[in-house]
Amino acid sequence: MKVLIGCEYSGIVSKAFRDVHHDVISCDFEPSPGNPNHYQGSVIDLLHLPFDLAIFFPPCTYLAKCRMWDKSQERLHNRILAFEFIKELWSCSIPKIAIENPVGWLNKNWMPPSQITNPKFFGSPYSKEVCLWLKNLPPLIHTCHSPGLKKVSNHVNSRMSQAAKSKIKSKFFPEMAKEMANQWS
């Protein structure tokens, strides 16, 4: 398959799909060192290409449930822009689509996710609710259960910049990426 992994700088999901022999392009505004075939720029630039599957990890800054109380005009404006981006990804012509985001604004204001899962259901030591909106893809089948004792937020602290915290929290879970590649191939 030709696979597009959008809004991914870490290369974790891209690698999982390459490992099962798919033709993969990842895309993000950030560079992706060590990730061959990475487009640095907007994923919108690539939506017209003939992909079979796209997995998108759009930024959750204005869509996550944290700071939902913040009703400032700037935040509301940025939430509208983030939602427009999600809708553009969802409506592209790629036949199979997965959009990942945490529990938050999308769940109540767009549509319920197709699946809410957790990396611990795939053997990861981390626990985090992960929402998946799926188009022409089945929900992921849980493969094993670990206690999931570690929270992703345990790896950040108050001395870090917001950008550094976001980068750590946005890395996807290799165990779950492997199952995406295995189950959606």
pLDDT surpasses 80 at 26: yes
Rounded Cα gap, residues 143 and 120, in angstroms:
10
Q: Mean per-residue pLDDT for 20-24?
A: 98
Which pLDDT score, from 0 to 100, does residue 156 have?
A: 54
pLDDT surpasses 60 at 89: yes
Helices H / strands E in the chain, number of each: 5, 9
pLDDT surpasses 60 at 153: no
CA–CA distance from 156 to each of 41, 66, 95, 100, 174 (Å)? 27, 16, 37, 21, 19
Is residue 14 within 8 Å of residue 56, measured between CB atoms?
Answer: no
Which pLDDT score, from 0 to 100, does residue 147 have?
A: 75
Rounded percentage of the chain residues whose pLDDT exceeds 70: 85
Closest CA to 93 of 15, 185, 2, 184: 2
Mean pLDDT for all residues in the chain: 89
Q: Mean per-residue pLDDT for 84-108?
A: 95
Rounded Cα gap, residues 55 and 4, in angstroms:
6
pLDDT surpasses 80 at 163: no
The structure's pTM equals: 0.90
Q: Which domains does the chain have, with CATH numbers?
A: 2-183 (3.40.50.150)
